Amino acid sequence: MSVASATTGQALPVAGGRATAAEVRRLSRGHRLRLAAVGVVGIVSTAVDLIPPVAIGYLVDRVRAGTADLGTVLTVTAVMALSGVLGAAGTAVAIVHATRVYHAVLAALRERLVSRAMLLPQHLVERAGTGDLISRSSDDVTAVADAAPAVIPALTVSAFTIVVSLGGLAALEWPYAAAFAVVLPVYALAMRWYLRTGPRVYRAERAAMSARAQQILESQRGYATVLGFGLAERRHRTVLTDSWGVAVQSLRARTVLSMLNARLNLGECLSLAAVLVVGFVLVDHGSSTVGGATTAMLLVLRLLGPVNQLLFVVDTLQSALASLSRVIGVVTIPTVDAADATTTPTDPMDEVDPTHEVDPMDPADTATAVRLREVAFRYADGPPVLDGIDLDIPDGQHLAIVGPSGAGKTTLAAVIAGVRRPDDGTVTRPRRTAVITQEVHVFAGALRENLTLAAPDATDRDIRAALETTGAADLLDLSADALDTVVGTGGHPLTDAQAQQLALARLFLADPELAILDEATAEAGSAHAERLDRASEAVLAGRTGIVIAHRLSQAATCDRIVVMDAGRVIETGTHDELLTAGGTYARLWAVWQAGQHISANR
């Protein structure tokens, strides 16, 4: 089990080599003409860079022959200077264009990552741990971005230099190229060793980073619990342990890098020795000149730098590829085709969803908005939270779900909404379903932006109408900026009641076929209860609605009430029918009424 798995149960998938390559090819569409231009400019600029070694070899032969003069030296110097300028300019152009393509592709990948992450099924994220997803969208994306300064020059310049220089060496005297080729197995063996060792080490390093991120995130989210139970020291030790785990994996990666460097140095020494020996033999037999041998040595020296750079950057490239595979692993998680899936998956990472959406052309679906058959659900290996739920909600009906704490009400709402996937059974729901929970979030930004998140085409008139309908028009008076008032973090603070009104207005603008209110007004306190109840009724008007009732006064106004206990439906009927039956609902109602009476007399 990996480090991440040990902490979180099951990490998000990591893309294989083929999937990663396919996604990169897909993202590079539209940039291939620029990539071709990079190739052409790179080859031309590196070919120009071959001129100085040839010119120096020519000068050496002229000096040995006694035919060199000041004009020869000046000409060689001018040619070398011009080739240096042209080569540098070409290299700069190639790197700039390659960098633009790299970051354009990376930007598109970031957008896909964020888009896909927002749509991931909740059970996948919870099994992997939120830290895994955060690590991929931060640490891994940063690793891919930070690799650009090292990887781009290596791939756009070094590769071209190696190809062109080898061609020039072979054109000069084939034995020189043969001598260099004899040493190539040393480099090949070094890379074979590294490619078998490096990726595994870097994957372990990234997994350790995910585990650390998960522990830090849990400590931050559970800050109040940590303080309340005196767990600060224990949490500190846990984070410290995972941080040391990252340090150990990073040291392993640096050790592998040092061992690769030693192998590259050996290859460099053998390459120079081989070409020197061949040059001595060729000159001794009159098959080459001293100038030719000088040119060959300069070309080999010119080759060694790019070869080492290219092989050395494989370390950075492997780290970046490990991160890239983790990012693409999220991007390529298959989307759920809920309309076609009706079976129950056995693999927890399988994306088949045993739910489907209402088909308005199917006569069986026209009168029923929600249908559940034998639905069962449990969290991980825990006891069943839902057990054999059968439920039909007619189109346009308002259904209240009540029951004691732990009865499974919120879980049932999440399964109906598609937030959670049932372990068994099937769920039918409308295509446009929206949920409001008691954990209402106000996003940092303008009031208008908060309200139009699910209805981007809504006009200011639509927004104002939604605020009026939900009794939240006073939000426009928060400041003189009205809809442009900045709310959320760093902006105008909202009370719990205002935040819930905003959420209700947001849902009204979204205009779903099915609206699910999971204790959506529970956090505002009794002072605003009546106002929020009226807002909820206004939002539900004209559409199918499910209310997880925190206050039984909400349930009493619904068309039908379902009473749950221990994950099962134990009663169903109207408010009056259930009171007459004298069962669980009647007892809950009596307790509720007594509590209201006590509160009123305080």
Least confident range of 135-144, 244-253, 287-296, 356-365 = 356-365
Three-class SS state of 295: helix
Model pLDDT, residue 577: 92
Decide if pLDDT at 463 tops 80.
yes
- Per cent of the chain over pLDDT 70 is 88
Token look-up 């209310």 returns: 547
How far apart CA 414 and CA 328 sit, in angstroms, is: 28
Q: Which helix (H) or strand (E) holds 565?
A: strand 560-565
Decide if pLDDT at 174 tops 50.
yes
Report, as an integer, the average pLDDT of 394-421.
88
More confident: 581 or 65: 581
Decide if pLDDT at 260 tops 70.
yes
Report, as an integer, the average pLDDT of 511-525.
75
Model pLDDT, residue 390: 92
Decide if pLDDT at 354 tops 60.
no
Query: Cα dihedral angle (235, 239, 241, 242), rounded to 10 degrees?
Result: 140
Q: What are the C-alpha distances in Å from 214 to residues 129, 243, 330?
A: 6, 11, 17
Model pLDDT, residue 597: 66
How far apart CA 454 and CA 510 sit, in angstroms, is: 5
Residue type, 132: D
Q: What are the C-alpha distances in Å from 538 to residues 470, 490, 504, 561?
A: 6, 31, 9, 19
Decide if pLDDT at 557 tops 70.
yes
How far apart CA 327 and CA 139 sit, in angstroms, is: 10
How far apart CA 484 and CA 479 sit, in angstroms, is: 9
- Per cent of the chain over pLDDT 90 is 8
State which of 65-69, 143-147, 365-369, 523-527 shows the largest mean pLDDT: 143-147
Closest CA to 294 of 46, 49, 58: 58
More confident: 429 or 172: 429
Model pLDDT, residue 563: 92
Model pLDDT, residue 601: 60
How far apart CA 291 and CA 67 sit, in angstroms, is: 14
Report, as an integer, the average pLDDT of 363-392.
82
Report, as an integer, the average pLDDT of 376-385.
84
Decide if pLDDT at 64 tops 80.
no
How far apart CA 205 and CA 250 sit, in angstroms, is: 6
269: how many CB neighbours lie within 10 A of its CB?
12
* Helices and strands (H and E) in the chain: how many: 23, 12
- Alpha-carbon torsion (560, 565, 570, 575), positive or negative: negative
Q: What are the C-alpha distances in Å from 127 to residues 349, 379, 381?
A: 9, 10, 12
386 close to 373: Cβ distance less than 8 angstroms: no
Half-sphere exposure of 518 toward its Cβ, with a 13 Å CA cutoff?
18
Three-class SS state of 580: helix
Q: All domains of the chain, ordered by start, with CATH?
A: 13-331 (1.20.1560.10), 355-600 (3.40.50.300)
Decide if pLDDT at 3 tops 60.
no
Decide if pLDDT at 275 tops 70.
yes
Closest CA to 562 of 584, 531, 535: 584
pLDDT digits 0-9 by tens, 470-489 = 888 888 887 777 888 888 77
How far apart CA 17 and CA 23 sit, in angstroms, is: 10
Least confident range of 90-94, 100-104, 164-168, 442-446 = 164-168
More confident: 43 or 581: 581
Q: What are the C-alpha distances in Å from 117 to residues 11, 49, 125, 212?
A: 14, 47, 9, 20
Report, as an integer, the average pLDDT of 523-547.
78
CA angle 53, 56, 59 (to 5 degrees): 150
Decide if pLDDT at 399 tops 90.
yes
What is the Cα 77 distance to its own chain's centre?
A: 53
Confidence of residue 302 (pLDDT cuts 50, 70, 90): confident
Within the chain, what is the greatest distance between any pair of CA atoms? 121
How far apart CA 231 and CA 597 sit, in angstroms, is: 40
Q: Taking the chain, what is the end-to-end CA distance rounded to the nearest angstrom?
A: 58
Confidence of residue 575 (pLDDT cuts 50, 70, 90): very high
When the pLDDT of each residue in the chain is averaged and rounded to a whole number, the result is 79
Model pLDDT, residue 100: 85
Closest CA to 502 of 529, 471, 458, 479: 471
How far apart CA 516 and CA 544 sit, in angstroms, is: 9
How far apart CA 300 and CA 185 sit, in angstroms, is: 16
Decide if pLDDT at 92 tops 80.
yes
Model pLDDT, residue 342: 37
Tokens of 264: 């590259």
413 close to 548: Cβ distance less than 8 angstroms: yes
How far apart CA 508 and CA 505 sit, in angstroms, is: 5
151 close to 320: Cβ distance less than 8 angstroms: yes
